[in-house]
Copies of this chain bind each other. A is one copy, B any other.
Amino acid sequence: MGCPTVLLLLLAFLTPGVAIRVPPAMKALSSLRWSTSFTTRHTVAKKYSIHYIQQKVDHFGFTADKTFKQRYLIADEHWKKNGGSILFYTGNEGDITWFCNNTGFMWDVADQLKAMLVFAEHRYYGESLPFGNKSFKDSRHLNFLTSEQALADFAVLIKHLKRTIPGAKNQPVIAIGGSYGGMLAAWFRMKYPHMVVGALAASAPIWHFGNLVPCGVFMEIVTKDFKRSGPNCSETIRSSWDAINRFARTGAGLRWLSEALDLCTALTNTEDVQRLKAWISETWINLAMVDYPYESDFLQPLPAWPIKVVCQYLKNPSVSDAQLLQNIFQALNVYYNYSGQASCLNISETTTSSLGTQGWSYQACTEMVMPFCTNGIDDMFEPHLWNLREFSDDCFKQWGVRPRPAWIITMYGGKNISSHTNIIFSNGELDPWSGGGVTKDITDTLVAITIPEGAHHLDLRARNAFDPTTVLLARSMEVRHMKQWIRDFYASLRKKH
């Protein structure tokens, strides 16, 4: 499973004036980085071998000929040299071993596709650091952290695999990725169709750039998720912001809030209150992304259909401010204290400085510029405009770079991608990222698969007894397409010989 990502802009937008913050998914990743024995509740550790390839730090310039070690993993238990295939995970913003262990779908289909699984780590994440521990030192060291360089790494790696692994040369490769990794999978097929016969891009918001989709779409979907999960649920959350604001007017109110919400550090000023509201918003967003039909522990240990559980506490928007916020506290506890271990809630826990986090923060400040906004009417959040200038200034302060918001569309085509072929765009309708995704067929071979009961790339997760029928259907359609690509590849190979 890929991870819910690219929230950075959103967070910057939710906390105006506050330095750029860390996307919630990144927290999970960064803590996982230091845990060697990590497995998810529903998966067992997978068997793979670890490899490294020397990559040019700069594929697009020749001044520096410096190289670095990119890590990749191979699992070939089910691979057949005769008539097999290669499933290539286009690594995204985190440690590749974690993605490898959590993309259960690839493991589940390896046998029927006679597939070798390859998981390629994205540069600047995990162990694949171009300048070691100096990689995040400054913008000069970060200069080679772009999607284009990452795709070039993938291309060089595939060429290397085909040259060095006996039997791999004449086999079809399929790119697979989720979230940002899903965008990479799609873009890889678009830019390097000679390297992969097709791509499965799961929950890939390739249109969440520029004006391609309304900036409010993401938060509207979050809101819908809460609306459908319990009566008055989204209305209760919408009412909570003003309730917080009213308490925040006085010192006594701030103290009451700090105690009622059981915060580890008491609120003392307006900025703290902004941070609190951003932190609560993030929680609702996270829940929308991981609203899975079974217990999971992606960001936090959570019950099945966690939003439904949360909404049990949020049935009445018309109670007193104090009651309403106590109900919000109960709801937050579903997310932060399902295990019953937390002694208090820490609203600054997002500001870690781990590698994965830093990398994505830089990417969001350069290429991955995703506009977000709310109006408080079509969504349950306080109204905020998308403010590119402010975002840009924050980026400059933090990284010494400014975003180029038009670039991704220039590079990858925006909505004008119909000349490409063999890409599956899968999206869960519960997933807020689906708003920036491709949810309708573009052509016969650029197809959209939607999963009504799916959150963020549910289809890439391992099969589960509680999987809804719609995700089973989605996966079987995905496999059907992949088998077709593989057949086409071998047919064209036979024609050549």
Contact = CB atoms under 8 A, between A and B. Distances in A.
Contacts of A416: 194
A60 interface: yes
A192 B417 CA distance: 9
Interface stretch (A5-13, A323-331, A407-415, A466-474): A407-415
A10 to B, nearest CB: 21
A78 interface: no
Contact of A144 (B59, B61, B414): B61
Interface stretch (A124-132, A148-156, A228-236): A148-156
Nearest to A146: B60
Interface in A114-141: 139-140
Given A139-B63, A143-B62, A419 B148 contact: no
A383 interface: no
B410 A156 contact: yes
Contacts of A63: 139-140, 142-143, 400-401
Contacts of A400: 63
Interface string A390-413: 000000000011101011001101
A420 to B, nearest CB: 7
Contacts of A407: 59
Copies of chain A in the complex: 2
Interface residues of A, number: 42
A191 interface: yes
A376 interface: no
Contacts of A418: 492
Contacts of A404: 56, 62
Contacts of A402: 62, 65
Contact of A148 (B60, B417, B420, B421): B60
Given A143-B62, A143-B63, A407-B59, A191 B191 contact: yes
A420 B422 CA distance: 12
A249 to B, nearest CB: 42
Contacts of A410: 152, 155-156, 159
Nearest to A396: B65
Interface string A412-451: 0110111111100000000000000000000000000000
A22 to B, nearest CB: 20
A235 to B, nearest CB: 38
B139 A193 contact: no
Given A65-B402, A402-B65, A419-B421, A413 B194 contact: yes
A488 to B, nearest CB: 10
Nearest to A144: B61
A116 B109 CA distance: 52
A332 to B, nearest CB: 37
Contacts of A148: 60
A366 interface: yes
Given A419-B421, A421-B419, A413 B61 contact: no
Given A62-B401, A63-B140, A159-B406, 15 more contacts: A56-B404, A60-B148, A62-B139, A62-B143, A62-B402, A62-B404, A63-B139, A63-B143, A63-B400, A152-B411, A156-B410, A159-B410, A192-B413, A193-B419, A419-B421
